[in-house]
Structure 1
Amino acid sequence: MIMDTLGALALATEPPSDELMKRQPVGRKGSIVSNVMWRNIIGQAMYQFVVIWHLQTRGKLAFGLSDDPGSDLILNTLIFNSFVFCQVFNEISSREMEKINVFAGILNNYVFVAVLSATVLFQIVIIEFLGTFANTTPLTLNQWFVSILFGFLGMPIAAALKMIPM
């Protein structure tokens, strides 16, 4: 709920560019999701699938987690955290559907920055302080770093996808 609501709010507050305002409107029978959007959606979905699959199948080995029951909770928390950070960085990449420099003017949109900051803050609170309620466990700094890194790596993938002509 946090990701969908805050993500939609963040992207909805992006002001339209002059280039967007000069385009012809889409007719009644036009698709809401353009080919450019499909390219970006499918590319990010494939990347995120590989990340989550890798964590699910090799996460215990990669993080040196034992086979005791507590390691399942740590692994599930890592998967959840990685997924959320994949979404956070994907929101940044989605600011511009075709331009590679997605950081241009990002600080001019205070709502976008506030929503992303709130998402990250909520994520920290959920992971570190709401263990029983959220079924999570606090992560080590290394585990946090890797979760954020997995999310960040979606950005160069998004940039590479934008180089595919549509």
Structure 2
Amino acid sequence: AGTEVAKEAADIVILDDNFSSIVKSVLWGRAVFTNIRKFLMFQLTVNFVALVISFFGAVIGGQEPLNVLQLLWVNMIMDTMGALALATEDPTPELLNMRPYGRTESLITKTMWKHIIVQGTYQLFWMFFILYAAPQFLSYYEITSKHDYFRDHCYAELANFGSNVDIQTNGTLICDIMNHCGMPYGDRFEVTFQCPLVTVPVVAGGHNVSSVSLPANEREAVCGVAAAAAKVDCALLTLIKISREHLKKLYKDFEIDEYKRPLSLLFNSFIFCQLFNEINARRINDEYTIFSGFFVNSIFLSVIGITAAFQVCIINIPGLNSSFFKVDRLKWQGGLPPPSPCVWFG
């Protein structure tokens, strides 16, 4: 009877009459707790970066940095694959040197928050660089501006403008006005001597440059003072507005295709950042090296290898990349340098 009472009151019951079992139970308990922390640190970093880049990309640039299927793939890496890789780490003798965990101890330590913030900030730097700076400074990822698109495509597009004969007939005049008269006024360009609306007097030294200007009111510039006062569009201005809206719609579709290349680089870099950071997540206490026991866990190595192989397929296989994940094939030397130092920033 006393034995049963002792068992009920005890926190640990040794079933095999061997005190070494206590050491094993403590070791495995700490291993499970530590693995949960590893997974949480990895998952919070992914969530932090994905949330920030998706929000600011949609709000500031109007572009969707990660589409639905890409986020689904990220979710698989973060949850299913991440759990398999990090939750299957075997216990190590070093765990016994750690102080005991308190009952009310937080799952996320200050050191883990430091890793999450530093790693997340590093990744966000590269994500924002790819999204906003790469199209500006790297010719391979350059985005054609609306001005350049109007200049290069206006004449051909208006010459084949459906059944609107008036726009087809006046296409050259309309394009000259939009490209050389500082229009559309919402995206004001420089007024040049080629603008059909400008009357340039000839003086002794040639053109009078100071006369190259138009009224700030578009209706007055195109239709005259009387039409502006009456607030009535003339036929030419109506055709210009229709043509402008048509070209803006075409440019939106064109811009989506233009952004495929930098967004593909962003997606690829984001995925490989998570793969490299998964290696970081194996150590959560500022250990000197993150590669200790790296080749021991075959499940971890398999997850890393399978994920990397699938990502290469997503980027390179025709149909899978363009039709499903909406990405372009990349130059791989342009997609790996940003994420690879992720190993050192965690």
TM-score by length of 2: 0.42
Residues 1:63 and 2:138 are matched in the alignment: yes
Matching residue's letter, 1:20:
L
Matching residue's letter, 1:76:
L
Question: Counterpart of 1:11?
Answer: 86
Q: Moved runs in structure 1, 4+ residues, more than 4 A?
A: none
Give the 3-state SS of the residue equivalent to 2:117 in structure 1: helix
Matching residue's letter, 2:292:
A
Task: Indicate if the aligned counterparts of 2:134 and 2:142 stay in contact, CA closer than 8 A.
Answer: no
- In the alignment, structure 1 segments of 5+ residues that lack a partner are 159-166
What is the CA distance between 1:19 and its match in structure 2? 2.6
TM-score by length of 1: 0.85
What is the CA distance between 1:78 and its match in structure 2? 0.4
Matching residue's letter, 1:86:
C
1:1-166 map, 5 Å: 1-4=75-78, 5-23=80-98, 24-27=100-103, 29-64=104-139, 65-68=141-144, 69=255, 70-97=257-284, 98-129=286-317, 130-131=320-321, 132-140=323-331, 144-158=332-346
Output one character per residue of 1:130-163: Cα deviation in whole Å (capped at 9) or x when no partner.
12111111112xxx223222111112222xxxxx
CA RMSD in angstroms, aligned pairs only: 1.6
Output one character per residue of 1:18-71: Cα deviation in whole Å (capped at 9) or x when no partner.
2324541331x3211111111101111111111111111111234312324333
Matching residue's letter, 2:330:
L
CA distance in 2, matches of 1:104, 1:145: 28
CA distance in 2, matches of 1:18, 1:86: 30
What is the CA distance between 1:8 and its match in structure 2? 2.0
Aligned pair count?
154
More helix by share: 1
Change (3 A) 1:146 1:66: closer
Matching residue's letter, 1:67:
I
Give the 3-state SS of the residue equivalent to 2:91 in structure 1: coil
Matching residue's letter, 1:80:
F
> Relative contact order (C-alpha < 8 Å, sep 6+): which is higher?
1
Change (3 A) 1:30 1:46: same
Give the 3-state SS of the residue equivalent to 2:292 in structure 1: coil
What is the CA distance between 1:106 and its match in structure 2? 1.1
Matching residue's letter, 2:83:
A
